[in-house]
Each structure stands twice: as C-alpha cells, then as structure tokens.
Amino acid sequence: MKIFKTRCEFQRYALELKRSGKSIALVPTMGFLHDGHMSLIDIARKKADVVMVSIFVNPTQFAPNEDFDRYPRDFDGDVAKCIDHGADVIFAPEPGEMYDPDASCWVEEVNLSKPLCGRSRPTFYRGVTTVVAKLFLLAQPDYAVFGLKDAQQCFVIQKMVRDLDFPIEIIPAPLVRDSDGLALSSRNRYLSADERSRALSIHRALLAAKAAISADRNAMAAALEKAKAEITAAGGRVDYVDILDCATMEYPLAGSRQVIVAAAAFFGSTRLIDNEIFEI
Ligand code: AMP
C-alpha cells in the first residue's frame, strides 16, 4: 500500500503508472469507510491494474453551518479496510494541501445539480465537481467509481466528464444498505439508537412511493406527499422528497423511463439522504 499526502508526489506517481501502461481506477471518498465504500473498491479492483482510493473531507462542499469540523474520521481504520480489499494507493491530503490559499478556479455544472441536494445546499455541487476534477487530474484514472447512494452526484459527475472531455469511464455502483434497510453512510455514526430506528422510515417511505408510482404513474404527487407524511410522523424533518427523470433531473414527462425518487431528512441534527431508482 502506497500512501500519498501531497498532490505533487501523487500526480507524479500516477503519471509514471500511466507511462508504464497500467490502467487506474479511482474511488473518491471522504473516509470513515464502510461497506458501501468497500463495494466501490471491489468494483474498481475488477476493472483496473491499480486501485486508488482518495480520502479527503473536502471543505469546499460544506457550507459554514454544516458538519465539516465534526465529520467522522478514522484514517488508520480506513487504511486497514483499503488493504483488506486490495486497494494499492491511498491519497489523503491534509486540508491545506489540496487547495492553494489563493485558488480562484471552480468547475460547475449548472443544470443537473440544481434540484434535490442542490436546492438545499446551493454551493455543494460546485465544491464536489471542483474537487473531483482536481482528483481526476491528479490520479489520471481510466475509471472512477461513484455510488448511487449519491445518485445526483453520480449523474453530475458523468455530465462533467462528458462536457469537459475527461478520458474517464464513470462506473455507477449500487446503493448498499444495512440489513434493516438503512442506507449505509458515514453520517449514520451521528445517530442515537432511537434516531436510527426512526430513520428507517425514509427507506420505507421511498419503497411505498416506488410501489404506488410503479402501479400508477398518475399517483406521483400523492405518493410524494404520503412519503413526506410518513417521515414526518416518524419524527424526521423533511428537506425534500421528490421524483425526477434521471436523465434530465426534471419532473418526469410522459416519455420518461428511468426515474429517481429521492429523499433528504434530518433526524436530530443529522441530515440523511436516500433514493430508489426505477423504470416507469
Ligand atoms: P462519501 O465518503 O460519503 O463522500 O462517499 C464516497 C463514495 O462512496 C461516493 O461515491 C458515495 O456515493 C459512495 N457511497 C457512500 N455510501 C454508499 C452506500 N451506502 N452505497 C454505495 N455507495 C456509497
């Protein structure tokens, strides 16, 4: 396992690998790794000669009132898990290393990133696309694996790669859940036992909405209201429950095929997101 802390050394190493003809798969993460992340590393392992995992809690995607300072970190645990799953390289820069103090360039996607999380976190996707573009230029990957837990993020990155001609294949990976249905997330660590059991309402509500809409596409609005009510009744504070066409990230039209029903809700002070993607 090679661990790099500086952009310069990491990029030099990646360029050497490319020159020697190796293929590279990158898994970008914010660390505190769980089985969802591990599933991405397993997919990357099957795709390329060299698997790189980046571990970086990216300050530019957090708003000042969000949880950047208390975001859970466990670098030694993360390294052990990466070794266990056959990753070859970890890139884990300190916050001050990733951006020059006078950095003034952003990468921004302005359509797919607007609804859902983009509405309640207006500077979030700009931070994500900027850091991911930087990671792509540093790691020189042929493949990058993104989880559908953050489906909108995955679609935004695919659009960035297409629009800006990054020579990279984005591989979407299935959402991994705990046995009781809760979507795995590093932020689940914040939940009390009571909040955690109440938070199961998110997935229950999404599944009920999916069933209702699959049975009758005219039931969309009613199904979303019902889902919001179920999460609220469980003690959650709903940020959004919405249905969108996966290709456009707009409200589904008659011709829409693949849709996403997505939810974000607070349990206590913890904001959780989840989604179901399906054909209508
Ligand atoms: P994060 O560390 O939360 O920024 O996530 C890093 C990557 O892991 C992103 O591509 C996420 O979509 C993915 N990921 C996080 N949780 C899960 C999960 N439960 N299932 C699948 N992928 C996940």
For ligand 1, atom 5, the nearest C-alpha belongs to: 29
Cα(150) to ligand 1 centroid in Å equals 7
pLDDT of residue 95: 83
Rounded Cα gap, residues 241 and 202, in angstroms: 9
Are residues 215 and 127 part of one domain? Answer: no
- 235-252 residue pLDDT tens: 999 999 999 999 999 999
Residue 179 falls within a domain, yes or no? Answer: no
Q: Which of 152, 173, 194 is the last residue of a domain?
A: 173
Residue that terminates a domain, selected from 138, 173, 208: 173
Residues 166 and 216 in one domain: no
For residues 139 and 12, state if they share a domain. yes
**Three-state SS at 152:** helix
Q: How far is the CA of 185 from the centre of ligand 1 (A)?
A: 7
What CATH number does residue 205 fall under? 3.30.1300.10
Distance CA 183, CA 243 (A): 18
Neighbours of 49 (CB within 10 A): 13
Burial of 192 (0-12, 13-18, 19+ CB in 10 A): exposed
pLDDT the model gives residue 6: 98
- Is the same domain home to 223 and 202? yes
Q: What is the 3-state secondary structure (H, E, C) of 155-190?
A: HHHHHHHHHCCCCCEEEEECCCECCCCCECCHHHHH
Looking at the structure, tell me whether residues 165 and 193 fall in a common domain.
no
Is residue 178 in some structural domain? no
Q: Report the SS3 class of residue 274.
A: strand
| 203 and 166, same domain (yes or no) | no
Q: What atom of ligand 1 comes closest to residue 153's alpha carbon? A: 12
Active site residues: 37
Residues 124, 249 within the same domain: no
Q: Give the whole-angstrom CA distance, residue 244 versus residue 261.
A: 7
Contact 68, 57 (CB under 8 A): yes
Residue nearest to atom 14 of ligand 1 (CA): 147
CATH of the domain at 135: 3.40.50.620
Together in a domain, 136 and 204: no
Residue closest to 113 by CA, chosen among 149, 147, 146, 160: 160
Identify whether the C-beta of residue 92 lies closer than 8 Å to the C-beta of residue 5. yes
Q: Give the mutation target among 35, 73, 149 for probing the ligand 1 site: most ligand atoms within 8 A of CB.
A: 149
From first to last of its 280 residues, what are the pLDDT tens digits of the chain? Answer: 999 999 999 999 999 999 999 999 999 999 999 999 999 999 999 999 999 999 999 999 999 999 999 999 999 999 999 999 999 999 999 989 999 999 999 999 999 999 999 999 999 999 999 999 999 999 999 999 999 999 999 999 999 999 999 999 999 999 999 999 999 999 999 999 999 999 999 999 999 999 999 999 999 999 999 999 999 999 999 999 999 999 999 999 999 999 999 999 999 999 999 999 999 9
- Which protein residues touch ligand 1 with a CB less than 6 Å away? 29-30, 36-37, 39-40, 146-147, 149-150, 173, 175-176, 183-186
Q: What is the pLDDT of residues 62-110, one digit of tens each?
A: 999 999 999 999 999 999 999 999 999 999 999 899 999 999 999 999 9
CA atoms within a 13 Å half-sphere pointing along the CA-CB vector of 33: 26
206 within domain boundaries: yes
What is the residue type of 40?
L
- Structure tokens belonging to residue 5: 């802390």
Tell me if 11 is assigned to some domain.
yes
Tell me: do 161 and 25 sit in the same domain: yes
Residue 280 belongs to a domain:
no
Check whether residue 167 and residue 192 sit in a common domain: no
**Together in a domain, 55 and 137:** yes
Among the three residues 132, 149, 173, which one is the final residue of a domain in this structure?
173
User: Closest ligand 1 atom, CA of 32?
Assistant: 2
What domain range is 197 assigned to? 186-275
| CB-based contact 102:39 (threshold 8 Å) | no
Cβ atoms < 10 Å from Cβ of 231: 27
Which ligand 1 atom sits closest to the C-alpha of 183?
A: 19
Count of the separate structural domains present in the chain: 2
**Residue 172's beta-bridge partner residues?**
146
Q: What angle do CA 277, 279, 280 make, to 5 degrees?
A: 125
Asked if residue 104 belongs to a domain, the reply is: yes
Query: In this structure, is residue 36 part of a structural domain?
Result: yes
pLDDT value, residue 29: 98
